[in-house]
Amino acid sequence: MPTAHSASRSVIAETIAIGSELLVGGRSDSNSLFITEALGRLGIEVRFKSIVGDDLADMVQVLKTAVSRAGVVIMTGGLGPTVDDCTREAVVKATGRRLARRKAAFEGMAARLAQWGRTPNKGQLRQAMIPAGATVLANPVGSAPGFAIEWKGATIVALPGVPCEMEAMMADSVIPLLAEQLARVMKVRPQPVIRQVFHTWGLPEADVDAKLHGLIPKNTAIDLGLLASPMGVLVSLTTKSGGARPVSDEVLSSLAQAVRVRLSDCLFAEGRETMEEVVGRLLAAQRLTVAVAESCTGGLIGHRLTQVPGSSAYVDRGAITYSNQSKSEMLGVPEALIAKHGAVSAEVAAAMAKGIRERAGVSVGLSVTGIAGPGGATATKPVGLVYIGLNGGSGAAITKEFRFHGDRSIIKQRSSQAALNLLRLWLIDRNRR
């Protein structure tokens, strides 16, 4: 078991995500967000985040830098059986330890593989090689064991990069280990790092920032954060670990309420809730059903809606009507209407929403048509021009025009978010009547 390190560094952490694919666009690092929240509940603040490729020398350098400034270093990735999985080698090269096959690591890996009807091959035997003096961390989900080792006053933890494996090992092994260490070295239990998150849509980052200007009183141990993305601007209130004046629940609650008031026009969710979850909850509560007709988003809205468990209760169907012919044949949009106004127009968006609602026999029809680019634009209809339609069966259809910027993928994401938000606002207004 690693020995306790100094109290002054115990509440400072760094995450290191390992893998060349994280640097070249193959996939993004989501593990650090989970780790940050899990450590924050212990009062350990992640102040640094590093991403490094599979080069051994680079990994050693990043690890040494992390240990020089953080008392807890959590590495994810590079524990697999292939030649580019060299986290174990990087740790022993940095610490001067040696690798040795550990019985606990081998037996845990062999047992997991046996459940899958397999036996360890030569590459997988490498996974049982653990640095000398390290504590083996069992993997209850996958085959790769992790480990924890003490070096230069820091606790280094190595975990698999697969999110479900990392999350299970954090809960089962890492959090109990670090909690025990904190109990030994801290005279007073550190305040948990609390992070409240608010999701907005419809305002640029600068406008959100202006609305929140002066929110945090001076000398208050809370950081206000803003993060812009194609899905809107995320606002966060994060308490600081080890602050001279711990933030009371009353102060944090008051600031959170102030955020809600200031951002009321554009705030759609808090915490981990997504736009599609909010829309699904509102549809289910009102016992309504929806069908979607999509052109430029190519099924993205339907995909997002059906990502929510239980969505079969309110999602009836979706139609990808990409061509003009499909809009006419599947939705009944008059060819003359398309010829007069163009497929990317408020008139066609309205007809698409009406057509999908009537054909599906649902409570509300939602549609989107636009120019995602990079081609297809004209002098009067630029890339990023998007029309969204909504038909609830009574009165004229609602249509909204948007002019988004970004590449094709970003325009599609923003279009889907705008469509779901229009549906959200319609549901809220309907519930108030």
Q: What is the pTM of this model?
A: 0.80
Amino acid at 123: G
* Number of separate helices (H) and strands (E) present in the chain: 16, 17
In this predicted structure, the answer to whether residue 5 has a pLDDT above a threshold of 70 is: no
Is the domain spanning 275-432 CATH 3.90.950.20? The answer is yes
**Which option is the CATH number for 7-185: 3.40.980.10, 3.40.50.10490, 3.40.50.920, 3.30.300.20?**
3.40.980.10
Handedness of CA 388, 392, 393, 395 (dihedral sign): negative
Handedness of CA 54, 55, 58, 59 (dihedral sign): positive
In this predicted structure, the answer to whether residue 2 has a pLDDT above a threshold of 70 is: no
> pLDDT value at position 26?
57
Residue 377 tokens, joined? 């634009």
What does the domain layout of the chain look like in residue ranges? Answer: 7-185, 195-270, 275-432
Model confidence pLDDT, tens digit, residues 367-406: 999 999 999 999 999 999 999 999 999 878 999 999 999 9
Q: Tell me how crowded residue 240 is: count the other CB atoms within 10 A of its CB.
A: 16
Tell me which fold the domain 195-270 belongs to. Answer: Alpha-Beta Plaits (3.30.70)
Handedness of CA 261, 264, 267, 269 (dihedral sign): positive
Query: Of 31-45, 286-300, 322-336, 339-353, where does mean pLDDT reach its minimum?
Result: 31-45
> pLDDT value at position 3?
44
Model confidence pLDDT, tens digit, residues 172-213: 999 999 999 998 888 777 888 888 999 999 999 999 999 999
- Backbone φ, ψ for residue 247 (5° rounding): -80, 130
Contact by Cβ (8 Å): 160, 27: no
Give the Cα separation of 230 and 35 in Å (integer). 24
**pLDDT grade for 4, boundaries at 50, 70 and 90:** very low
Model confidence pLDDT, tens digit, residues 130-146: 999 999 999 999 989 99
Model confidence pLDDT, tens digit, residues 219-272: 888 999 999 999 999 999 998 765 446 788 899 999 999 999 999 989 999 999
Give the Cα separation of 415 and 226 in Å (integer). 21
